[in-house]
């Protein structure tokens, strides 16, 4: 995601078997998006699908915590003062 957001990567991958990989620089990806609108749309559709899946999973976790009467994992600054 960092290549899309410009922020530092948020995950590290460790291969269990010999593998190959490649890196894509943000500037190169953005240049490709400018020249290939179809690729840009497909990539953004995939990102939206991924984020929707993550949000749905988070909603399930929140519902599970609420059903058990447990406190959420994180508190806002206002909540921690009370």
Residues 26/3, Cβ–Cβ less than 8 Å: yes
Write down the domain spans for the chain.
2-72
C-alpha pair distances (Å), 28 with each of 36, 37, 44, 46, 62: 12, 14, 16, 19, 38
26/29 Cα distance (integer angstroms):
5
Sign of CA dihedral 51, 52, 57, 58: positive
**pTM of full prediction above 0.75:** no
Q: Which residues contact 33 (CB under 8 A, 6 or more apart)?
A: 39, 40, 43
Kindly report, residue by residue over 7-54, the tens digit of the pLDDT.
Answer: 888 888 899 999 998 888 999 999 999 999 999 999 999 999 999 999
């Amino acid at each position: 995601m960092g290549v899309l957001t410009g922020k530092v990567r948020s995950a590290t991958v460790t291969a269990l078997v010999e593998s190959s990989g490649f890196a894509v620089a943000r500037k190169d990806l953005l240049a490709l998006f400018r020249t290939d609108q179809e690729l840009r749309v497909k990539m953004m559709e995939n990102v939206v699908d991924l984020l929707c899946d993550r949000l749905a999973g988070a909603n399930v976790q929140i519902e599970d915590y609420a059903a058990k009467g447990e406190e959420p994992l994180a508190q806002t600054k206002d909540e921690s003062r009370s």
